[in-house]
Amino acid sequence: MKTIAFFNNKGGVGKTSLVYHLSWMFRDLGLRTLAIDLDPQANLTSMFLREDRLEKIWQDENRPLSIMKAIRPIMKGLGDIEIPEIERCDDSIGVIAGDLGFSRFEDKLSDAWPRCLEGDESSFRIVSSLYRIIVSGAESMDADMALIDLGPNLGAINRAVLISAQYIAVPLAADLYSLQGLRNLGPTLRRWREEWWERRKKNPEPSLQIPEGKMEPIGYIVLQHAMRGDKPAKAFGRWMERIPDEYSISVLDEPAQNIKDAANDPHCLALLKNYRSLMPLAMEARKPMFFLTPADGAIGAHTAAVKDCYADIKRLAGSIARKCGIPASGKDQIR
């Protein structure tokens, strides 16, 4: 089972939409996926589930159907994690529902992090709790992969999630803010990795399942870049030219590649077009953009856009699969 986090500390770059659409694409390619909503805003959960189901999940103050069920014993100081509830959207897609109350876990994680250096077992149980929830959730549905959505910050929750991930994909927009995000992201990931490896040595309980802290960046995805014909508009193209070198320097800690076209960068997983006109239809139909039909209002130019969207997301799924060593399966080969 592979764990892949989609993360950038800049918001508004399409992390949630990517996890949602890739979950459905991998399902269409014959793979079983667990989507995990660890962003306290819980937007991924609202994309997967209808309002009547969301109301049931969030109406009880104990939140027995969201991520809060799994961490409740730790939050109360009464025990270890519980097996998370999995919302089944399909035979091959499960979701661990997010919760606005999840942000309360930040303080607990922040306090436990330094105490791991003292070899405190309870602190290791707290810091590793999200990793063990991910693993137990994936095992319960025999998932091939876990796709994780996080909020746009560099706080204690995201640190605990990212050390739990084997791979990290970085969504970007072609703008100054995304470049600055890369400058913050890369050094932080390296520091967290080194700090966790130092702490791992002090784990006093060998039977406790704790994350390796691999956190391997597999590449970046440029989302919603403005297009003129088949080329980015000039204002956006200026920033896109700087992404390959910035990613190499800041995230990979390697020399600049002197590549001025992200499309030719081996670290670029995809350049996705702007399918903004399809998203309202997809939200209304409660399905991915690439599954829209004329009955959903996808007519005229939208018909071609739906086909293009399917091809784009399939190529992205193929790139991710190759980077993460995910084998092809089912009715269609991942290319």
The predicted-structure confidence for 62-99, as pLDDT tens digits, reads as follows 778 899 999 999 998 888 999 999 999 988 999 999 99
Tens digits of residue pLDDT in 139-172: 999 999 999 999 989 999 999 999 999 999 999 9
How far is residue 85's CA from residue 133's CA, in Å, rounded to a whole number? Answer: 10
How far is residue 281's CA from residue 289's CA, in Å, rounded to a whole number? Answer: 8
How far is residue 6's CA from residue 161's CA, in Å, rounded to a whole number? Answer: 11
Q: Are 107 and 77 in contact (CB under 8 A)?
A: no
Q: Which residue has the higher pLDDT, 208 or 238?
A: 208
How far is residue 185's CA from residue 208's CA, in Å, rounded to a whole number? Answer: 29
For position 262, what pLDDT does the model report? 85
Specify the pTM. 0.92
With 90 as the cut, is the pLDDT of residue 329 above it? no
Question: What are the phi and psi torsion angles at 49 (to 5°)?
Answer: -115, 145
Calculate the CA 301 to chain-centre distance.
30
Domain extents in the chain: 2-219, 275-323
With 80 as the cut, is the pLDDT of residue 326 above it? yes
Tens digits of residue pLDDT in 224-251: 655 555 555 666 778 888 999 999 999 9
How far is residue 128's CA from residue 246's CA, in Å, rounded to a whole number? Answer: 31
Assign domain 2-219 to a CATH class.
alpha beta
